[in-house]
A = this chain, B = another copy of it.
Amino acid sequence: MVSVRKIGTTTEEKNKMIEHGEKVIRIKVPYKLASRAFHHQDSVIKVGHHFIGNGSLTAIAGPCCIESREQLFTIAAAVKSAGAKILRGGAFKPRTSPYSFQGMGEEGLKLLREAGDKFDMPVCTELMSTEDFDLVDTYTDIIQIGARNMQNYSLLKKVGQTQKPVLLKRGMSATIEEFLMSAEYIMASGNPNVILCERGIRTFESYTRNTLDLAVVCAIKELSHLPILIDPSHATGRWEMIEPISKAAVAVGCDGLMIEVHHEPENALSDGPQSLKPEKFARLMTNIQRVHFACVETDEIESVAKKHAAI
């Protein structure tokens, strides 16, 4: 079958029609603020003293779910020591079952703030409802919008009314265009500080929890100026795949990783099977830096080559 190529929104592109086989297609992308066509430079999002999207590799790590002070502080100390820049932890949890643990709520948020302050790490936690906005906003440095809420437009508009960075996860069956349209909702409401995060899409394959679509990183870098992270924990659902998949994510050019870590995965209240132990996370951090370094150098070589030749 003839494949279809979409055309972006630059003026040059708008004025041409791609002839490809028997299909003739002209498409204007429906997002503007999120589009690279109107914002050529990469967006860099400042979080505390840290920058996301400036070419460095950002690791956001921590437990899926905040369970207790001891659990959170143990894990926070470990991920800080391994090089993670931002601490994650869920206080409001979107669980498929109403009978599963739903999170510690405000008590969890307080612990998260305390841990962030103690270990000098900005913190990131999920907001599930507009009603909890003020509460979550009080304690967190990054507001996470989960995959199930990627098209919860009330919530997107709400977080668009602040200037606090928003980490927006791709819905499990969202197209790349829909993903960027949801970012557009936040930006059109006034908040330009959007960090995208791919966490796997739903396919027929059931060996892994989801199917990680790494080409999304290339697509986002072409279509948008926003930074994009990869969440290998939800993408695979299997701790033994986290390190190789993280290396791949770094190699393809993502701006960072979001990884679930637990010191006792077998006792975790959620996502135990996909949580890394601290020592495995530490090794991962060392190893992805090697891959990142190898790729950065190739990009520099490439950058020099571009200056010397028409490619």
Establish whether residues A211 and B201, one from each chain, have CB atoms under 8 Å apart when the complex forms: yes
A251-B291, A252-B244, A283-B302 given; A96·B211 CB < 8 A: no
- By a CB distance below 8 angstroms, the chain B residues around A250 are 251
For A28, give its contact among B5, B22, B31 (CB under 8 Å).
B22
- Across the interface, do A219 and B208 meet the contact criterion of CB distance under 8 Å? yes
Cβ contact of A273, chosen from B3, B153, B184, B249, cutoff 8 A: B3
Residue A104 CB within 8 A of the other chain: no
From 80 to 124 in chain A, residues with beta carbon under 8 angstroms from any chain B beta carbon are: 94-99
Beta-carbon contact of B175 and A172 below 8 Å: no
Give the chain B neighbours of A137 by CB distance below 8 A.
none
Among residues 114 to 165 in chain A, which have CB atoms less than 8 Å away from a CB atom of chain B?
128-132, 148-149, 151-155, 157
In Å, the complex CA distance between A296 and B131 comes to 47
Whether a CB of chain B sits under 8 angstroms from the CB of A241 is yes
Contact A213 B205 (CB under 8 A): yes
The answer to whether B129 and A154 touch across the interface, beta carbons within 8 angstroms, is: yes
Whole-angstrom CA separation of A162 from B226 in the bound complex: 41
Q: Is the Cβ of B178 less than 8 Å from the Cβ of A1?
A: yes
Q: Which residue of B lies closest to A188 (CB)?
A: B98
A131 / chain B contacts, CB cutoff of 8 Å: 130-131, 154
Q: Which of A18-61 contact B (CB under 8 A)?
A: 20, 22-28, 30-31
Complex-state Cα separation, A290 to B294, whole angstroms: 6
A237 at interface, CB cutoff 8 A: yes
CB distance from A243 to the nearest CB of B (A): 9
* B residues near A301, Cβ cutoff 8 Å: 286-287
Contact A205 B149 (CB under 8 A): no
| Chain B neighbourhood of A153, CB < 8 A | 94-95, 98, 128, 148
Write the nearest CB–CB distance from A168 to chain B, whole angstroms: 14
- Asked if A15 CB lies within 8 Å of chain B CBs, one says no
* Residues of the B chain whose Cβ atoms lie less than 8 Å from the Cβ of A27: 22-25
Partner of A4, one of B3, B95, B206, B253: B206
Tell me which residues across on chain B come within 8 A of A219, comparing CB atoms: 207-208, 241
A-side residues, CB < 8 A to B, are 1-6, 20, 22-28, 30-31, 94-99, 128-132, 148-149, 151-155, 157, 172-173, 175-178, 181, 184-185, 188-189, 201-209, 211-215, 217-219, 222, 235-238, 240-241, 244-245, 247-253, 273, 279-280, 283, 286-287, 290-291, 293-295, 297-298, 301-302, 305, 311
A-B contact pairs, 21 of them (CB 8 A): A4-B206, A5-B273, A23-B28, A94-B153, A97-B184, A98-B181, A98-B185, A148-B153, A173-B204, A203-B211, A203-B213, A204-B204, A211-B213, A215-B235, A218-B241, A219-B241, A244-B252, A248-B249, A286-B298, A290-B298, A293-B294
Given A201-B203, A291-B298, 13 additional A-B pairs, CB 8 A: A1-B181, A22-B30, A99-B188, A130-B130, A130-B131, A148-B151, A172-B173, A175-B207, A215-B245, A222-B240, A248-B251, A283-B305, A290-B295
